[in-house]
Amino acid sequence: MENNEYEIDITKLLKTAWNGRRQILIISFVFILIGSVIAFVSPLVYSSSTTFINSQTESSQASGLSGVASLVGINLGDGSSGAEIPPTMYPQIGESVDFKRALLKSKIDEKKQINLGDFLAERNRINKSLKNGDNKLFVSKYEDELFTLIEKVISIGVNKKDGFITISANMPNSEYAANTCVNARDILQEIVINSRIQSAKQKLKFSEKQLSSKRIEFEEVQNKLAYFNDSNLNLVTSTIINERSKLEAEFQIINAVMVELSKQVEQRKLRVSEDTPVFSIVKEASMPVKRSSPKRALMVLSFGFIGLVISILYVIIKEPANQIIKEISS
């Protein structure tokens, strides 16, 4: 008996929905129309991505193995030096002020005339009067608004298992998306490289400075010795021989120091080259042909489905709701 009543209720609901089919069609059409307007008004977004890997990751793993091996008395060697930034920290670099400022200054068009900062400011109508100079320690309101936009434009992901880094860029222009993606990758890699070789570069700079200083001293002693020899070609006295010996000894000492400093400079140049991370590009960024959003057909269908559900519920609930209202009123 209960089943029969249930079947009668379903039949009644279907009949009510059928009788109100005109309202259902009208409401669904209105939702489809709204969805179409939103779909065509929504800004176009093109996505471009690039994937790369830091070859230093493998050497870091080898270094870790050498550390474990040393505990049991086995020396595998350790050629690493400097501060290595692990790939898992790359998204944090992307959130840094230095990264964002460098990216805002990068050019995004083929003719290298438009930078990202000006493009975002103009597109989003950000008031440039909010700039407050070029203080590196202070983030102006103008920069803060642009930094917020960059977080929507650039995303950095890391495959923790394999060490792959993927950078994606979302822009309203296909060319701008690809160029922004490449710029972000280059800036990120430059920051990682500078951090890695900072110590080695400082040592190299110190050695070059010392070599330059000693070269001046070397030339002075060399000229002094040559002048002394030219001035005393035909004179052979104990005083002259003694003075010549002192100059030659001084020359040999400075020459030996010069040779050692030259070797040190070359060694430290090699160290800088050795410590410089090498990035292998697995997938290069390209200009997307198709937009990533809006997905207009899907948006229209979604609004149409929502309109259909709402209209059916409205037609079914309308009469019972009116009766309840009348009963309450009376």
Q: Encode pLDDT of 63-91 as tens digits.
A: 444 444 444 444 444 444 446 788 889 99
- The residue type of 92 is Q
Query: Which of 98 and 137 is assigned the larger pLDDT?
Result: 98
For residue 207, pLDDT beyond 80: yes
Percent of the residues in the chain that have a pLDDT greater than 70, as a whole number: 86
In the prediction, which pLDDT does 319 show? Answer: 80
In the prediction, which pLDDT does 315 show? Answer: 86
Q: What element of type H or E holds 58?
A: helix 56-71
Residue in 199, 167, 178 with CA at minimum distance from that of residue 99: 167
Matching residue, tokens 């400079």: 265
For residue 305, pLDDT beyond 90: yes
> What does DSSP assign to residue 170?
E
For residue 164, pLDDT beyond 60: yes
Q: Output the CA–CA distances (angstroms, integers) from residue 143 to 123, 147, 198, 210, 238, in the order listed.
A: 15, 6, 28, 42, 77
Separation of alpha carbons 247 and 239, rounded Å: 12
For residue 18, pLDDT beyond 60: yes
Specify the range with the lowest mean pLDDT, choosing from 47-61, 245-259, 275-289.
Answer: 47-61
Is there a contact between 118 and 132 (Cβ–Cβ < 8 Å)? no
Matching residue, tokens 């008004």: 41
> What does DSSP assign to residue 132?
B
For residue 192, pLDDT beyond 80: yes
Q: Taking all residues of the chain, what is their mean pLDDT, rounded to a whole number?
A: 83
Separation of alpha carbons 314 and 311, rounded Å: 5
For residue 2, pLDDT beyond 70: no
Could you count the other beta carbons within 10 Å of the beta carbon of residue 227? 11
Separation of alpha carbons 227 and 236, rounded Å: 16
Phi, psi for 50 (deg, rounded to 5): -140, 145
- Alpha helices, DSSP H, located in 106-173: 116-123, 141-153
Matching residue, tokens 């068009």: 109
In the prediction, which pLDDT does 83 show? Answer: 60
Separation of alpha carbons 299 and 34, rounded Å: 10
Give the angle 85-88-91 at the CA atoms, nearest 5°.
95
Tokens representing residue 177 in the block: 């998306």
Tokens representing residue 237 in the block: 């006295």
Query: Which of 276 and 188 is assigned the larger pLDDT?
Result: 188
Residue in 188, 201, 199 with CA at minimum distance from that of residue 87: 188
Query: Tell me: the pLDDT tens digits for 91-124?
Result: 999 999 999 999 999 999 988 899 999 999 998 8
